[in-house]
Amino acid sequence: MKHVDEYRDGELARDLARRIALEARAGHTYRFMEFCGGHTHAISRYGVEDLLPGNIRMIHGPGCPVCVLPMGRIDDAITLAERPQVTLCTYGDLMRVPGSNGSSLLKSKAAGADIRMVYSTLDAIAIASNEPERQVVFLAIGFETTTPPTAMAIRLAQKKRLTNFSVFCNHVLTPSAIQKILQASDPGAVEIDGLIGPAHVSTIIGTTPYQRFATEFHKPVVVAGFEPLDVVQAILMLLRQVNEGRAEIENQYIRAVSADGNRKALAEIADIFELRDSFEWRGLGEIPDSALRLREPYAQFDAERRFAIVTKPARDNPACECGAILRGVKRPRDCKLFGAACTPETPMGACMVSSEGSCAAYWAYGRFRDRETGLQRVGAR
Amino acid sequence: MCLAIPARVIELLPDEMARVSLDGVVVNASVALVEDVAIGDYVVLHVGYALAKIDEDEALRTLALLREAALLGAGA
């Protein structure tokens, strides 16, 4: 596939990695965080870490919307879906995410709730048009990449005068989460020397919103595509910035990302959504100005208002290390549940449910071979 | 969630929709979010919406930079 295959050339990747090894200073450790689950996935799938010298460490960030959605919001979605008049439309990623007391959307669907997996918000609009007797709620989740499609659905619902369509909005903002990670000052917080910035989030917001991470926090940021060579090139660019004492915003994914982003999409987002004062992120806690809700003129499309949703706090499985993994403080293999009680078949936490989660990436691509798994320990006794 | 794939625009349809080819698989997608889409353009496709156009010249420049850096590594 054009614009994909070129960036998956293994020989080129190995040569680039040799270049990185040559330029990495002996005795210096480089800690780079890839914010996005898409990057984590590429790193695991293509074995990028195996190519890098030992003194470059990749830290996996919280850029997986399914992973950072707090359990309380999953509970809200389940409660909503169990209302007899409601048809809940959701992206497939959310179906198996555990709610409180072992619940999930998948289990509710099996028990009879009208929950439908959709590929696009356009599908949800079609369902609402074709089934006027149903209250169709779209479970909106995702970073800035996924927000414009939700905005366009609301725009379309308005145009079609749909009175049975609403959105349960859980859209969150990338720069707020990056800032939270860079601000974390508690002992044991993760130290990073540079960031690989989001690929498709940046097609929407551009590279300008990251500027403050260079000026205020003195961290280099390289926005990169999701293919393995994109990631390797971004690592080389970060390495050079660190070696030269620079902290700048650079754009490796310039074929799709501009400084200003997608103005049309940003205008739609600004018109329909406004900032919430604060929003809870799994692993990162409450972050001010980090999420969106519908503005007053669009209240009729807001499921939170229509169904008077009040999110109750919910507790994750206490043994699950998702929180620390999302902060980059721990790796999946540091979790007792990983590979034992928690696998993609029976996920205990969101990092294993979402295919973009760090745990799922480690599991799927065998990045746990250097750790004795819980099952092996049991078997050895 | 943020994964997106390059798709080639093969036909423009009414209501800011288009037929796009994903390596031969043809689907309908919204092009309402990108300006000045033309047949033959590659776009970044995400959950049924084109989010950005892919700039061919920039893609070639990125690949040239990649090869240049790799060449230095290969000679090592």
Q: pLDDT (tens digit, 9 = 90+) per residue, A260-271?
A: 999 999 999 999
Q: Tokens in use for A309?
A: 């949703």
The ipTM (two decimal places) reads 0.96
B44, A203 contact by CB (below 8 A) = yes
Whether A282 contacts A69, CB under 8 Å:
yes
- Min mean pLDDT across A47-51, A96-100, B1-5, B37-41 is at B1-5
Taking 50 as the pLDDT cut, the residues of chain A under it are 371-381
Instruction: Give the one of B1, B2, B69 whose C-beta lies nearest to A16's C-beta.
Output: B69
Is A161 strand, coil or helix? coil
Please state the pTM of the whole predicted model: 0.94
Q: Delineate the domains of chain B, giving CATH numbers in brackets.
A: 5-74 (2.30.30.140)
Across chain B, mean pLDDT equals 94
Which domains are assigned to chain A?
Answer: 1-317 (3.40.50.11740), 322-366 (no CATH)
The whole-number pLDDT of residue A186 equals: 65
The minimal CB distance from B70 to the residues A19, A21, A199 is found for A19
**For the packed helices A263-272 and A147-159, what is the interaxial angle rounded to 10 degrees?**
60
- As a whole number of angstroms, the distance between CA A155 and CA A175 comes to 26
A198 CB-side CA count, 13 A: 33
Q: Do A255 and B59 touch (CB under 8 A)?
A: yes
Mean pLDDT within B27-48: 97
Alpha-carbon separation of residue B63 from A79, A234, B51 (angstroms): 49, 13, 22
What is the model's pLDDT at position A379?
41
Three-state secondary structure along B7-28?
EEEEEEECCCEEEEEECCEEEE
Q: Are A298 and A272 in contact (CB under 8 A)?
A: yes
Report pLDDT for B72: 81
pLDDT of A377:
42
CB atoms under 10 Å from CB of B35, counted, come to 9
pLDDT band of B76, cuts 50, 70, 90: low
Taking CA–CA distances from B62, the nearest residue in chain A reads A252
Q: Could you tell me which residues of chain B have a Cβ less than 8 Å from any Cβ in chain A?
A: 1-6, 8, 22-23, 30, 32-35, 42, 44, 46-49, 51-56, 58-59, 61-63, 65-67, 69-74, 76
